[in-house]
Amino acid sequence: MQKVAHGDKQAFSALYDALAPLVFGIVVKVVRDRAQSEEVAQEVMIDLWRQAARYQPDAGSVQTWAATIAHRRAVDRVRSAQAAADREHAQATREHTTAFDEVAEQVETRLESEQVRRCLRGLTELQRQAVTLAYYRGLTYREVAEALRTPLPTIKTRMRDGLIRLRDCMGVTT
């Protein structure tokens, strides 16, 4: 370990060959996913290279030290994955709540649409034609007058009277 701590690549290669199976075995038992276990084991081996100077022989064997680092790193990975899953679940729950708001809006819109249809039925046929052409087909007053072959001032009067009746029927206050 002293040679590894001083950057000896051959010493690390020997250490890697000796400890990699132990490290991988511990990690795969905790993580259970082979691809993630390979990543975690690689990270542990890099940690052993970087932290070699921290190894204290009187605290335990190199295998015990490596096993402890491997276990901690594997547990961290599992906890991180669980936290990510929890965040995704919480986000999905929040989005699901938003869907209820969308349903409420759709119901409100549908009720308003039914009220508009009911109020439109309360208009005279001439008023209903003018309002429908203007608001549902997007025609201008002049285009409505041309479509109905009616003078423009007459269309304006029908529209004004029809809109006043709609406003009153809908309960809109000005």
pLDDT tens-digit profile of 84-104?
999 999 888 777 655 556 777
Which pTM does this prediction carry? Answer: 0.54
pLDDT at 107 over 70: yes
Distance separating alpha carbons of residues 44 and 120, to the nearest angstrom: 74
pLDDT tens-digit profile of 116-153?
889 999 999 999 999 999 988 899 999 999 999 999 99
pLDDT tens-digit profile of 43-69?
999 999 999 999 999 999 999 999 999
Give the Å distances, CA to CA, from 162 to 14, 118, 131, 132, 156. Answer: 92, 13, 7, 10, 10
